Amino acid sequence: MNETLTIALESMVIGALIGFGASAGVARMFHAPKVQGMGAFRTLGELNACENDPVAHFSFGLGFFFNAWASAVGTGALTSDVDHRIVPHWAAALSMTKNRNLDETLHNPRRMAAYGAGVGLVLVTVLNTTAASIPHSLQNVAADVLGPASEWLINPVMPIVFWMAAVDAGRRSGGWGTVLGGLAHVVMGNAVPGIVLGIVVGKGIDDLGWTRVTKALAGAVVLLFVGSAFLRGVDIQLLQQMKADVPHWLSRLHDATGTTPTK
């Protein structure tokens, strides 16, 4: 089969699936914490910021559509904005053209899922098939402008934003956030997951104290860090950089599990 046709057909299925799932999850966010939703804090905030105006929702999505399009050209990555911003905002815009009642539109998982599936189907197909037809000069803009900008956002801007939020939220979340954030950057290469977990643990202890729940949470966090450290071979790297001898059994264990550090 023709390659473009294959990409188009697969994209339609993929787009409908992600549109359906993401939009239903986003609508459920408005019923959280009673109902488990799916999306992101920034998605929730941005949807609220558009104040049930379909034009605002549409243009917000449009800005990120061009971002995703440019990114697809340069690198083949559609960007996380597809699920976080474009699909939810365009589904909301379509859903609100005739009806401004939030309960019946944006907060209604059935209606959002239906519109989202349609938006996703068209959007993902367009992004994946027309990317190659964009001029080279635009590909270079995508690679040289959007590439660095999104890298800086992930590191170091987002870690700092979350870090300051953790510090401002109180001594406990600030302390846990700082320790877990620093460790997360050492172990995982990005501090954000650690800071977020720090806020969860710190605020959990603030609200509940040291109960069975918060103890289990802290235990899971410790396991997560130990597991990630081993998988990335951080223990070996640490010993090497401290100019200490790596025990033979440890390097054999890493060789056997294929977790020797790469850099």
Partner 1 sequence: MTTNDATTTAGAAAPAGRTRGKVPGEGSFWLSEWAFPLFVAALAAGIFAGTHLYYVYRTGTFSDVAVTAMLKGGMDSGSYGAAAAFGAGFLFARIIEGPMVGILDIGGSLQTGVGIGIPAMLLAAGITAPLEHFWLALPTGALLGALIGALILAIRRATVNSAGGTSTFGADVMMGAGNSAGRYLGPLVIIAAATASLPVGLGSTLGAALFYWWKKPLTGGAILGAMLFGLFFPIAGT
CB-nearer residue toward partner 1: 92 or 166: 166
Q: Which residues, at least 6 apart from 25, have a Cβ–Cβ distance to it below 8 Å? A: 37, 38, 39, 109
Longest C-alpha distance within the chain, in Å? 70
Query: Are 103 and 124 a contacting pair, CB within 8 Å?
Result: no
In whole angstroms, the minimum distance from the beta carbon of 242 to partner 1 comes to 21
Minimum gap (Å) between residue 256 Cβ and partner 1: 14
Q: Please say which residue, 126 or 246, places its beta carbon nearer to partner 1.
A: 126
State the minimum distance, in angstroms, from the CB of residue 245 to partner 1.
Answer: 23
- CB contact at 8 A, 173 and 143: no
Helix (H, G, I), strand (E, B) or coil at 103: coil
Q: Between residues 157 and 247, which has the closer beta carbon with respect to partner 1?
A: 157
CB 88 to partner 1: min, Å: 10
What is the rounded distance in angstroms from the CA atom of residue 219 to the CA atom of residue 51?
41
Q: How far apart are the first and last CA of the chain?
A: 41
Q: Radius of gyration (Cα) for the chain, nearest Å?
A: 22
Least Å distance between CB 15 and partner 1? Answer: 7
Residue with tokens 């559609």: 78
H-only helix segments in 153-257: 158-168, 171-188, 192-208, 212-231, 234-241, 248-257
The residue (of 54 and 193) whose beta carbon lies closer to partner 1 is 193
Beta carbon nearer to partner 1, 52 or 59: 59
CB of 155 or CB of 251, closer to partner 1: 155
